[in-house]
A and B are shown apart, each in its own frame.
Chain A
């Protein structure tokens, strides 16, 4: 059997992947298209890619793209993706989840992934609301928005992932709006190609529960950074704290050693861990040394 190639290769053929759980008009469809294009344009094959997701509507992505996938637990996509990449650096590893997944439940893991710098791409579907649990505020919900569980209006300062990532000297930081297809494909391609942790905050509407941040709202309240040098950290930080309009594009690139490059496992042996066998001769040597 010849498996398909190109964009078609990433279209799932499994029976259970036909029933897509997203609402009509949901931004996740756009992100799926963007991601499939990016993977296909990079010339990757499904068996070379692993998409690790948390919980939520965004996290259903592994079922709607044909690639290796692990649909895990709320907030835990990043440590699992880190483990996948560490065990097999030959894989292109993408961690995917929503703003609740990555910034609330998984906030601590995001911070430490920035420090650890595994060579994975973190895609955050940021719709500024909790959709799957029916419309509660998320860490990125704007101040003043009223929800069923914040009837008085949100008063917490919204999480600023871009500023946080730049402040922590992350390896690659970008923001895009999924309504801009071609630009988003290019940003995600660059994020995947970047060696090190790449964080892409992807703005997208929730047509069912977020009546404020609509497609039109994002177009009116964003702009592309055409004159920005992503290697300038101070400039990146200045852009990162702009809130209206929100800058889009690559904020910051900081080339530094990745986690996989730093561990001794691959210093002389490049094979993924599944191809390795126990070093029983060294075990024997250890026991010999215990005679002293």
Chain B
């Protein structure tokens, strides 16, 4: 007999193509509808079929948003899964499934609860119903809302006809009944308090949060070349292109993608490029053009481990230095790295205002872990999104690169006003024509790389402090590491440790320095050198005393951060 209170971590594992995502979809939806907080994340191999992919689903009585190493219930769909996650299996782990999916070497060593989902699926009519049977089984363990399972199946399989829907529901019911039985006979007891408010919340992934944030920010042009793990955002936009009346184009390479987007911004569109590190590397030439021409651009970069092809389907926060320094010559840029779904939505929307206002590249840094994560959250407040336009009319005498105090020249778009707009990647005069004048060159360099950067820096928002400002220890996180650190600190439960989280990564407001005074600073980063810790030193002169780094292509788990912090803090 196994018992899980307040929270359970379920891991489903199988081969690519075995349909684990169907199970995941039914489960997260039905459990959320049943009033449980849910979190899901997957890890997968770079292949179309086979290998081993796993999905972790946390079900809890309280809000859960981070990856845990611990597995409470493991559902293997094939042999090899246990070996793949062996270091996550503990003495309380229940392996739920068929004996033939468990390797010989594990039999007798793990707590196997043998159930026959394949047999039940065959009784329903086909092996094809295995996934819905398993989904029903797990929902049954929770005494979950079966109506929600039916509803999901209806939506998911609706276009395949009534018979398919009915058969899948029948399969899910067989599983569900078995799950309820396992619960009531005490084999697996799951006791998690429900929260009525969760039912009305939404489920949102990182990919969707960035995609819908872009649309809320007025994105009406997206050009891209497919690359994991960024492609989801482009797919999302393409699926919405018809409804939102926008342009989404898959182009010949990333070079074309960014240049097309620059052209679109020049003519007044709000354009975005979605790519990953390798693709971004190709765009650095055009990034430099954006810097010189002061052409706005928004780039979403979903990081994966490099260098080069690295680990195509895994995660790392390793491209910060790339986006900070890509492009030749000096020019400002803005780097944002959302840590939560809410931040991904609001920040991506805001990225378009920032690009428009400052006429610089705005880079949104996510990563594989972040884009593939989802959880329930209250519906974001769309009313909070502001649409700010900074376009002026080109009247006679208009000068595109007018020298101004704050470094920001008025940007007109062709066709608005009688006068013409000249943009230029060569050094230029105020009108946009080529110049080699020494004095003018100095003034233009200062306008872009000093005055404009200072304006952005001054207006940059401060990081978010979670905990006491008098804490002795200050843990620093940026981007997707947020939730793991947050939860680890909750577990640590010490008043003398606070968290400073950065979602606005660059440039840093000089005011930020005050957060660090007199603290022992610990940076938690998903890369090998501590790129953000280095940036803190460079930008603010802040010394980071300890670096907690992870760089095996996997995300931080709550336990790992917890253990690491415990080791650092006296």
Kindly list chain A residues whose C-beta atoms are within 8 Å of the C-beta of B201.
291
**A291 (CB) vs chain B CBs: closest residue:** B202
Interface assignment of A157: CB less than 8 Å from any CB of chain B: no
State how many residues of chain B have any CB contact under 8 Å with chain A: 83
Return the contact of A67 from the options B29, B221, B271, B420 (Cβ within 8 A).
B420
Q: Is the CB of A69 within 8 A of B256?
A: no
Q: Smallest distance from the beta carbon of A80 to chain B beta carbons, Å?
A: 4
Q: CA separation between A46 and B417, bound complex, in Å?
A: 11
Check A292 against B396 for contact (C-beta < 8 Å): no
Interface check B121, CB cutoff 8 A: no
Total A residues in contact with B, Cβ cutoff 8 Å: 69
| A residues less than 8 Å from B322 (CB atoms) | none
Instruction: State in angstroms the CA–CA spacing of A264 and B222 once bound together.
Output: 13
| B321-375 contacts to A (CB < 8 Å) | 349
- Shortest A115–chain B CB gap in Å is 9
Chain A residues lying within 8 Å of B264, measured Cβ to Cβ, are 83-84, 86-87, 273
Q: Counting CB contacts under 8 A, is B104 at the interface?
A: no
Are A83 and B382 in contact, CB atoms less than 8 angstroms apart?
A: no
CA distance A69 to B221 in the complex (A): 21
**Given the complex of chains A and B, what is the CA–CA distance between A72 and B424 in angstroms?**
6
Question: Which of the segments A139-147, A194-202, A279-287 contacts the partner chain?
Answer: A279-287
What's the nearest-Cβ distance from chain A to residue B93, in Å?
A: 31
Q: Which of A3, A16, A263 contacts B418 (CB 8 A)?
A: A3
Interface residues of B in 231-273 (CB under 8 A from A): 240-247, 249, 251-253, 255-257, 259-271
Tell me whether B396 and A112 are in contact (CB under 8 A).
Answer: no
- The distance in angstroms between the C-alpha atoms of A77 and B240, with both chains bound, is 29
Q: Could you tell me if B415 and A91 are in contact, using CB atoms closer than 8 angstroms? A: yes
Q: Which of A47-55, A168-176, A229-237 contacts B (4 or more CB under 8 A)?
A: A47-55
Interface residues of A in 262-289 (CB under 8 A from B): 263-269, 272-280, 282-284, 286-288
Q: Say yes or no: A264-B242 contact (C-beta < 8 A), given A73-B286, A76-B255, A277-B218.
A: yes
* Nearest Cβ on chain B to A269's Cβ, whole angstroms: 5
Q: How far is the CB of B239 from chain A (nearest CB, A)?
A: 11
> Which positions 5-64 of chain B face chain A at CB distance < 8 Å?
29, 33
**A interface footprint on B419-441 (CB within 8 Å = 1, 0 otherwise):** 11111111011011111000000
Residue in chain B with minimal CB distance to A83: B263
Contact of A268 among B245, B423, B429, B434 (CB under 8 A): B245
The winner among B217, B267, B421 for most chain A CB atoms within 10 A is: B267
Residue B212 lies at the interface, judged by CB distance under 8 Å to chain A:
yes
Is B285 an interface position by the 8 A CB rule? yes
The yes or no answer to A71 lying at the interface (CB within 8 A) is: yes
Binary CB contact string for chain A from 77 to 111 against chain B (1 if under 8 A, 0 otherwise): 00111111111101100000000000000001101
Specify which chain A residues have a CB less than 8 angstroms from the CB of B285 in the assembled complex.
73
Q: Is A43 an interface residue (CB 8 A)?
A: no
CB distance from A168 to the nearest CB of B (A): 13
Number of CB contacts from chain A to chain B under 8 A: 242
Most buried by A among B215, B244, B259, B421: B259
Would A80 and B268 be within 8 Å (CB), given that A71-B424, A278-B218 are in contact? no
Check B435–A16 contact: CB distance below 8 A. yes
A63 with B244: CB separation less than 8 A? no
> Which chain B residues lie closer than 8 Å to A83 at the CB level?
221, 223, 259-267, 269, 271
**Interchain nearest-CB distance for A129 vs B (Å):** 22
A66 within 8 A of B: yes
Taking the complex as formed, is B155 at the interface, i.e. its CB lies under 8 A from any CB of chain A? yes
Complex CA–CA separation, A282 to B211 (angstroms): 13
Return B544 CB to nearest CB of chain A, in Å.
38
Which residues on the B side are within 8 Å of A265 (C-beta)? Answer: 220, 241, 245-247
Q: Does B289 contact A (CB under 8 A)?
A: yes
Other-chain residue from B240, B249, B419, B432 in contact with A263 (beta carbon distance below 8 A): B249
Q: Per a CB cutoff under 8 Å, which of B29, B200, B216, B415 touches A48?
A: B415
Residue from the list B219, B252, B257 in contact with A111, Cβ < 8 A? B252
Q: Is the CB of A72 within 8 A of B253?
A: no
Pairwise interchain contact B382-A1, C-beta atoms closer than 8 A? no
* B413 CB within 8 Å of chain A: yes
- Does A17 interact with chain B (Cβ within 8 Å)? yes
Closest to B151 in A: A292
**A90 and B420 within 8 A (CB):** no
Residue B394 CB within 8 A of the other chain: yes
Given contacts A50-B414, A274-B267, A276-B218, 5 further A-B contacts (CB under 8 A): A17-B433, A72-B425, A83-B221, A264-B242, A274-B269
User: Could you name 24 residue pairs across A and B whose Cβ atoms are closer than 8 Å?
Assistant: A1-B397, A3-B419, A14-B431, A15-B431, A46-B420, A47-B415, A47-B418, A55-B425, A70-B424, A84-B267, A88-B415, A91-B267, A91-B415, A109-B252, A109-B256, A111-B252, A263-B241, A265-B245, A273-B221, A276-B218, A278-B349, A280-B216, A283-B382, A287-B382
